[in-house]
Amino acid sequence: MAKSSLTYQELILRLQNFWAERGCVLQQPYDLEVGAGTMAPETFLRVLGPKEYKVAYLQPSRRPADGRYGENPNRLYKHTQLQVILKPPPQDVQELYLKSLEAIGIDLREHDIKFEEDNWESPTLGAWGIGWQVMLDGLEITQFTYFQQCGGVDLDPISAELTYGLERIAAFLQDVDSIYDIVWARDPQDPKKVFTYGDVRLADELQMSVYNFEAAKVEFLWKHLEMYEAECKELIAQFAAKQKERSAELNRFPLLGAYELCLKCSHLFNLLDARGAISVTERVGVIARIRQLAVGVAKAWVVQQSAREEKAESEGEPVAAGAAK
Amino acid sequence: MADFLLEIGCEEIPARMINGAREELARRVGELLTRERLAQKTILEPFSTPRRIAVLARGVAGSQPDAEEQVMGPATKVAFKDGQPQPPAHAFAKKVGLELSQIEKVSTPKGEYLSAKVVKKGRPAAEILSESLPKEIAALYWAKNMYWCPGKTSERFVRPVRWVVAMLGEQAVPVELFGTSAGRASEGHRILSSGTVKLDSPTAYAEKLQSAYVVASPAEREHRIRKALDAATRKVAGARWREDKELLETVVNLTEFPSVILGNFDPEFLSLPEEVLVTVMRDHQKYFAVEDANGKLAPHFLAVLNTSGDPQGLIQHGNERVLRARFNDARFFWNVDQKHSLRERSGWLKNVTFQKDLGSYFDKTRRVQGLASQICEWVCADDPKAIRSGVVHKGALLAKADLTTELVKEFTELQGIVGGLYARVQQLDESLPEATRMAIAEVIYDQYKPESMDDSVPRSIEGAVLSIADKADSIAGMFALGLIPSGSKDPFALRRQANGIVKIIAEHKLHVQISDIFRSAREQYQGSEAEKKFKSANFTADIETFFRERLEFYLRDVRGFAYDVVNAVLAAGADDIVDVIARAEAVSQVRGSEDFQAIGAAFKRIKNILRQANEKKIEPAEKFNASDATEDAEKKLGDVMARAKAALTEKKEDYVASLGEIAQVRQPVDTFFDKVMVMVDDAKVRANRLALLRDLLADFSTIADFSEIVAGK
């Protein structure tokens, strides 16, 4: 078996390069806990509204309930996604994606690739899309989605979202059975010197599993959830009031702050879930509460963006690409 | 005459939707061609792959034939005065583009009118097609559609359309679809071909695509896959691949150029239950399972690829790696799950939602236990040993516990089965004898059976009762909430569950009444939180209607009873399914006989007479009185009826014999109608005769409503 020499970090670099060369902004991972790359504002907020955008970023994604104390070779509490957003998707988006696989050393003629129906939905985000799981020799390596709705808002234009499961792809390329055996980095001076995924992350998986399943203080988690939620709601209400007054200051209103609070709530919900602290009756209710925050921020964001554009137009200024300063 | 080809090229269409769309497209094109008189009898050849649906229509006319049309003009008396043409005559001639001398006169019931034969020029096929095809294609049904073009008014389709081929003969038909102009260029296999495939003629379609590594005919792909599966399996001596129609259909629709590899897995995994291994292979990896000469699972699998082959074994290696990880996961879950017994887990069900308004699975467990106990009582009304109530009770307690296991969370389709497998290996209760434990395990294992009308029912009577109780509880809860299936809307698959109940009762021959089951099922909700959300006022009637439909479906489509027999027996009661079937069987036997054809006709007549009498407010006598009978035929009928009725009471549920008794009344009924007039002027005589007919109908319609029997079959 020809072993690929691509290390985990080389895989990441190649993919980032590939998408940078195709005009994507290379963003950094969002620095808050998220369950998936979709939740980072670079996806959740950018797909809203009419402005075109292309971005690629790595996103460590935390799913407390998926933790296995580092004992399961295929499961992680925190896995890493490479997220690409193409708004709008080019005609040849599928071919482009397949080229990215070639860029990481996969000769498509030697493999079996299939696009199998898999539609994506996130009730907490009020978001859904149509797409596929991309199967490479029977392994799901990417989720490919045409976003249709986000934060309860119908999207126009549509965005294509490509989510690469990096650990899986690396394990495939390196032909290892355990994620922890993936070679993360290799010393070019001394190729025998390697750092594996286990070297880098095992302690994280073990300790965070203990924290998520056993140690996290349920009472505090609830309190935090309530506080973050209250603050987020307050901000959304304030924005609505300003909007009514037709305030010229909409532009500087901290909706991004509100969105961070919403993300905090989502993560706290996941932690409570992992702790088994959410009863049947509560569960549906809490999901609805978080969706309300996400939808509130998304709708306000659309308003803020269009106000911003109007302002820029009337002042004859080019609209800056950055969403907020 | 030319051939017409239409191909819609898409990003990968979901496998489950392809067959329906392919057939619908062919049908729509065929109907369009006929409707527009472009072809009389079109020969349609449909094609599909994951990336296209297409249809080839042979023998399409280049344009519509010219049509002669008779156009009516003004009345002659308006158009001509004293034989001279008036302005309306000239106007009409001008309108139809003829000389006045070419105008005819025709007489109609309304008088004479001017008329003209006009030849309507046929339009070119290409023009009609480019106008109509977008509408036909937009109307295709997809279970789920999407937007991809900018603009909220843009059209939707199942997946983005990337190319369109529309050709009439060698010419491209100008069609615009989703911003794509149709042409003569198709696409070959994504990876194996060099891309664009230029088509010279519609009929060369399949052949051209074939050279670009696309087998456009699904039947041909199925044939190839079957052969490749056979060939790959031959590498293992004595082995066979497990036939799986559904899986085959899926892989046919996931590939454009299929081939098959045989892969292997570590025989050590065979220590896991076969159910788990097959589910992983089939449902998650779309692999065919392989069995040895004894029908036992062998450590191999077959994967269907969308490429020409795997000369280096890379694809095989990759698939083996994935399967190994999946099996390892399953084994890991199996082992982890054993740390907590089902018994322990049944308490955790408080945290698992059954339905948002119906509470948790813990609540459901309580209700199902109550209902199952009640059904047990009915089942052993005659024979206390008919059922082991303890097995049902314990089975119901543990039935849903597997929902908390890792294995079921991972492989949801194995719910029930996993519980059964765990119950087999776990010590449920120290005092339980081995045989009882196995019986409980089986009850849990079978609880979701039958999953379809082709699936078998639970093996034991205890399993049957639990399965009925579980399904009835769901149906009762949903109906009480007002969530009644309508049309294609049945998100909780209540019809399937009700079909299951009917099938179980029928096959286990359980003497239980549907109305009793649902009264009890509804009672289990009494005092619960869920009950506060109930709104249906017509619970009993709704359930009755719903089950009558299910039973009708079962009798007709599953058991094959004639529809008039089904209507006849259901009209005489639909609550006791075993009884309904016994009656249907008996009625089917006599349905074609002369006696019952005649009885059917007579009963219809009686119904009409009684209805008419009722409409005229003519009341029958309270009771038929033989001494008031004036005619012999009338007396005779009364006598025979009395005898037959007594015999019926005696024969009870021996319906064949009972029908023999009913047949006895045919002769006197016929004679009665020959000789006796019912609606005579004498009120007393008339009322007495009406009473006789009323009793006849009432007393002899307990097995079936014979007036429903259709004559002449």
Interface contact B258, partner A, CB < 8 A: no
Q: What residues in B contact A283, CB-CB < 8 Å?
A: 353
Q: What residues in B contact A49, CB-CB < 8 Å?
A: none
Element spanning B466, H or E: helix B461-480
Q: What residues in B contact A138, CB-CB < 8 Å?
A: 285, 287, 303, 318-319, 322-323
Determine the distance in angstroms separating the CA of B611 from the nearest CA of chain A, rounded to an integer. 56
Q: A128: which 2 tokens?
A: 């859904």
Q: What are the pLDDT digits (tens) for B171-214?
A: 999 999 888 999 999 999 999 999 999 999 999 999 999 999 99
Q: What are the pLDDT digits (tens) for A137-196?
A: 999 999 999 999 999 999 999 999 999 999 999 999 999 999 999 999 999 999 899 999
| pLDDT recorded at residue A247 | 75
Q: Are A256 and A324 in contact (CB under 8 A)?
A: yes
Q: A206: which 2 tokens?
A: 């073990």
| Residue B307 DSSP label | S
Q: Helix or strand or coil: residue B353?
A: strand
Interface contact A292, partner B, CB < 8 A: no
Instruction: Work out the number of other CB atoms within 10 angstroms of the CB of residue B183.
Output: 18
Give the 3-state DSSP-derived string for chain A, with helices as H, strands as E and coil as C. CCCCCCCHHHHHHHHHHHHHHCCCEEECCCCCCCCCHHHCHHHHCCCCCCCCEEEEEEEEEECHHHCCCCCCCCCCCEEEEEEEEEECCCCCHHHHHHHHHHHCCCCHHHCCEEEEECCEEEHHHCEEEEEEEEEECCEEEEEEEEEEEECCEECCCCCEEEEEEHHHHHHHHHCCCCHHHCEEEECCCCCCCEEEHHHHHHHHHHHHHHHHHHHCCHHHHHHHHHHHHHHHHHHHHHHHHHHHCCCCCHHHCCHHHHHHHHHHHHHHHHHHHHCCCCCHHHHHHHHHHHHHHHHHHHHHHHHHHHHHHHHHHHCCCCCCCCCCC
Would you list the DSSP string of B556-611? Answer: IIIT---HHHHHHHHHT--SBHHHHHHHHHHHHHHTTSHHHHHHHHHHHHHHHHHH
Strand A183-186 vs strand A194-196: parallel, antiparallel, or unpaired?
A: antiparallel
Q: Are B500 and B418 in contact (CB under 8 A)?
A: no
Residue B427 phi, psi dihedral angles, 5° rounding: -80, 105
| Residue B433 DSSP label | -
Interface contact A282, partner B, CB < 8 A: no
Residue in chain A closest to B161 (alpha carbons) equals A91
The residue type found at B102 is Q
| pLDDT recorded at residue B6 | 97
Residue B260 phi, psi dihedral angles, 5° rounding: -130, 140
| Residue B699: exposure state from Cβ atoms within 10 A (0-12, 13-18, ≥19) | middle
Q: Nearest CA to B19 among B217, B253, B258, B256?
A: B253
Q: From CA B579, how far away is CA B655, in angstroms rounded?
A: 10
| pLDDT recorded at residue A280 | 59
Q: What residues in A contact B307, CB-CB < 8 Å?
A: 109, 111-113
Q: From CA B60, how far away is CA B44, in angstroms rounded?
A: 11
| pLDDT recorded at residue A1 | 39
CB contact under 8 A, B351 and A114: no
Best A99, A114, A278 residue to mutate vs chain B (most B CBs within 10 Å): A114
Q: Nearest CA to B299 among B276, B266, B346, B275?
A: B266
| Residue A85: exposure state from Cβ atoms within 10 A (0-12, 13-18, ≥19) | buried
Interface contact A36, partner B, CB < 8 A: no
Q: From CA B262, how far away is CA B287, in angstroms rounded?
A: 10
Instruction: Work out the number of other CB atoms within 10 angstroms of the CB of residue B357.
Output: 18
CB contact under 8 A, A91 and B360: no
Best B314, B348, B350, B360 residue to mutate vs chain A (most A CBs within 10 Å): B314
Low-confidence ranges of chain A (pLDDT < 70): 1-4, 279-281, 316-325
Q: Helix or strand or coil: residue B120?
A: strand
CB contact under 8 A, A284 and B353: yes
Residue B355 phi, psi dihedral angles, 5° rounding: -150, 145
Q: From CA B72, how far away is CA A253, in angstroms rounded?
A: 74
Say whether the peptide bond before residue A157 is cis (omega within 30 degrees of 0): yes
Residue B652 phi, psi dihedral angles, 5° rounding: 50, -110
Q: Are B256 and B219 in contact (CB under 8 A)?
A: no
- Residue bearing tokens 């009118």: B113
- Residue bearing tokens 């299910």: B550
Q: Are B141 and A112 in contact (CB under 8 A)?
A: no
> What contacts B653, CB < 8 A, 6 or more positions away?
B579, B582
Determine the distance in angstroms separating the CA of B606 from the nearest CA of chain A, rounded to an integer. 59
CB contact under 8 A, B321 and A175: yes
Q: From CA B432, how far away is CA B415, in angstroms rounded?
A: 24
| pLDDT recorded at residue A322 | 45
| pLDDT recorded at residue B110 | 85
Low-confidence ranges of chain B (pLDDT < 50): 713
CB contact under 8 A, B321 and A279: no
The angle that helices B389-398 and B361-379 make with each other, rounded to 10 degrees, is 170
| pLDDT recorded at residue A281 | 62
Strand A53-62 vs strand A25-27: parallel, antiparallel, or unpaired?
A: parallel
Q: From CA B21, how far away is CA B13, in angstroms rounded?
A: 10
Element spanning B71, H or E: strand B67-75
Q: Nearest CA to B565 among B542, B588, B544?
A: B588
Interface contact A94, partner B, CB < 8 A: yes
pTM of the model: 0.82
Q: Helix or strand or coil: residue B115?
A: strand
Residue A115 phi, psi dihedral angles, 5° rounding: -105, 105
Half-sphere exposure of A36 (CA within 13 A, CB side): 17
Q: From CA A207, how far away is CA A213, in angstroms rounded?
A: 10
Q: From CA B36, how far away is CA B122, in angstroms rounded?
A: 10
Q: Are B377 and B317 in contact (CB under 8 A)?
A: no
CB contact under 8 A, A111 and B318: yes
Q: From CA B5, how far away is CA B478, in angstroms rounded?
A: 49
Q: From CA B125, how far away is CA B61, in angstroms rounded?
A: 7
Interface contact A74, partner B, CB < 8 A: yes
Q: Are A148 and A122 in contact (CB under 8 A)?
A: no
How many residues are given for chain A?
325
* B85-105 per-residue burial string, b: 16 or more CB within 10 A, e: under 16: eeebbeebbeebebeeeebee
| pLDDT recorded at residue A318 | 54
